[in-house]
Amino acid sequence: MPRTPDMITITKEPIRLGQFLKLANLVQDGLEAKIQIQNGAVLVNGVLEKRRGRQLNHGDQVTMGDSLLLIQLTKGA
């Protein structure tokens, strides 16, 4: 049975992968994001991603460990 992703809302796109991991509270800082990405712990849309600067947009899915996250764009106030 497929998992239902958790929605993470952004107000501006694109967002870089490292920034997104921090926003989603999957890592504490940029260094931890870099290490996790370089160690092959992060998938974007089901594909292994090794670039911390990868640009993410509305509808992209990020998987790290047991976390499956879907990026949702909302208009800021």
Single pTM value for the model: 0.89
Residue 65 has, within 13 A of its CA and on its CB side, a CA count of 6
Residues facing residue 10 across a β-bridge = 73
CATH architecture, range 6-73 = Roll (3.10)
For residue 34, give every residue at least 6 positions away whose Cβ sits within 8 Å of its Cβ, in sequence order, or none: 18, 52
Which three-class secondary structure state does DSSP give residue 7?
A: strand
Per-residue pLDDT of the chain (77 residues; tens, 9 = 90+): 567 889 999 999 999 999 999 999 999 999 999 999 999 999 999 999 999 999 999 999 999 999 999 999 997 54
